[in-house]
Structure 1
Amino acid sequence: MIAPDLRSGVERLGDMIAGASVIVPFTGAGISTESGIPDFRSPGGLWTRNRPIPFEEFVARQDARDEAWRRRFAMDDTFAAAQPGRGHRALAALYKAGKVPAIITQNIDNLHQASGFAAGDVVELHGNTTYARCIGCGKRHELDWVRQWFRRAGHAPHCTACDEPVKTATISFGQAMPVDEMRYASQLAQNCDLFLVIGSSLVVWPAAGIPMLAKESGAKLVIINNEPTEQDEIADLVIRHDIGETLGPFVGN
């Protein structure tokens, strides 16, 4: 059902939240635009300005690794200034109230943790851009270390433990999805009675299959997104309005 207006959508959502025992949110880039982080696909989004660098290209070419890190450093001020928006805070309120056991996110910005979620309860399907990992041994490297290396050497770093390339701890196109996170996300989807999709276009697979799994497992499905998605027709409620305005009434409740 597509809500005819914001007010009726919020009222219906409130009833569904009140009646649910276990709620699992699934968030995409749209929830963070209020925090000043641009999304990927819309006009002016990150991918309209820069072609994504596939994982295979990152591994094979030093210039690709250098460009990937230049792009990340160019976003330093944006990520540093970002604070949780109304959507993040509303979900954190439901988490603190015991309604939400964990949150599934396609985002890499760490804003759910900043809003009050314990790190272990944020299932990051596409990783996290606030630190780096070696693609060989998996050793964690902090961004300050990467910046110092880049400034000193003039190129992207390699791991001090195994000499393999170091990249942000995010999942690039062509890179394998994290097995443990995908398994946990699937378990959450199969064991909730309300699944909230917030700010995701639901076009990136296999992550986009998780809301369908929740619906098939008996959960009510709500989609909150400015634009239509391919899964609107199976949703119990679709709200096509601003996420901050939609979830704002639930902040602190």
Structure 2
Amino acid sequence: MKIAILTGAGLSAESGLGTFRDKGGIWTKYDLTQVATPEGFAADPALVHEFYNARRANCVESEPNAAHFALGELQSDSAHEVTIITQNIDDLHERGGAKDVIHMHGQLLRALCANCGERWDAPIIMTPTDLCPRCSAPQTRPDVVWFGEIPYAMETIQQKVSESDLFVAIGTSATVYPAAGLVQLARGETRELNLAPTDAAGAFDSGRYGPATSIVPEWVQSL
């Protein structure tokens, strides 16, 4: 069976990585227009790097949870062809055993040169004076997709979802486009796994609700 899985922040929340909506979380301490837009980076690169340095440190200190491991095990099952698409910029899927994860919003542990497009592994601490290893321009930024930018690999993502026998959205509100439109592309069965029904729950054929560390392993086991 071909399975396409879309994961969001709710999958990593139990690993200590906050979602956009966490009260008191790191996202609430910054103006997102200043730290998560190309315009914000151009205006104050030091502030943007401060924000992502904190997120990167949080990421490397976190561990994959039972949901990540369950999806890694599912992908290794030869009975299924599993594509994992994530909105998350952490590496917990990979540390949970997943392979070839499609990071539609980029990766926190990778760096990007805004001048020439070169990509490389990011250091834990990035600064505005970091030079690109290819062109030497001091325009190094996190390799993440900011508001107003186009998510990565959308053509591949759309193809994988449309060809799947089962499309599953896990830990995502499924209300922000283009991710929100993926369920409409699915031609097979669709299922939502989340802490609680989302506003998009009616677009799915079925749902299962509760903590990701409980419902995701249970769902994988049921397959």
TM-score tier (shorter): 0.7 to 0.9
Distance 1:73 1:54, change over 3 A: closer
Tell me, what secondary structure is at the counterpart of 1:167? strand
Change (3 A) 1:206 1:76: closer
Q: Which one of the candidate residues 17, 30, 36 is aligned to 2:16?
A: 36
Aligned to 1:10: none
The corresponding residue for 2:137 is 163
Normalized against structure 1, the TM-score is what? 0.78
Instruction: Name which of structure 1's ranges 35-44 and 159-168 shifts more when overlaid on structure 2.
Output: 159-168
Q: Which residue of 1 aligns with 2:202?
A: 233
Query: Is 1:55 aligned to residue 28 of structure 2?
Result: no
Query: Which residues of structure 2 form unaligned runs of 5+?
Result: none
Partner amino acid, structure 2, of 1:133: L
Cα separation, 1, equivalents of 2:41 and 2:60? 27
Which structure has the highest strand share of the two?
2
Check conservation: 1:135, 1:165, Cα contact below 8 A. Answer: yes
Q: Which protein is richer in helix relative to its size? A: 1
Higher RCO (CA < 8 A, seq sep 6+): 1
Structure 1 stretches lacking a partner, 5+ long: 1-20
Q: CA RMSD in A?
A: 2.2
Deviation sequence 1:92-128 (CA, Å, 0-9, x none)? 111000324321110100111111122xx21111000
Counterpart of 1:225, as a letter, is N
Q: Does 1:243 align with 2:212?
A: yes
Distance in 1 between the 2:184 and 2:49 partners? 35
Residue pair 2:166, 2:189 contacting (<8 A) in 1 also: yes
- Is 1:190 equivalent to 2:171 in the alignment? no
Write the letter of the residue equivalent to 2:160: L
**AA in 2 matched with 1:90:** A
Q: Is the 8 A contact 1:133 1:169 kept in 2?
A: yes
Q: Indicate if the aligned counterparts of 2:131 and 2:139 stay in contact, CA closer than 8 A.
A: yes
Q: Post-superposition shift, 1:75?
A: 3.0
Q: 1:69 aligns with which of 43, 49, 56?
A: 49
Runs of 4+ off more than 4 Å = none
**Contact 2:171 2:193 (8 Å CA) reproduced:** yes
- Please say which structure displays the higher CA radius of gyration: 1
Aligned length: 218
1:114 aligns with 2:88: no
- Aligned residues of 1:59 and 1:165 also touching (Cα < 8 A): no
Quick one: percent identity of the two aligned structures?
29
Q: Distance in 2 between matches of 1:115 and 1:172?
A: 26
Report if the CA contact (8 A) 2:183-2:203 is conserved. no
Partner SS state of residue 69, structure 2: helix
- SS of corresponding position for 2:143: strand
Shift of 1:59: 4.4
Cα displacement string for residues 212-242 of structure 1 (whole angstroms, at most 9, x for unaligned residues): 211xx2x111111123323211211122211
**TM-score using structure 2 length:** 0.88
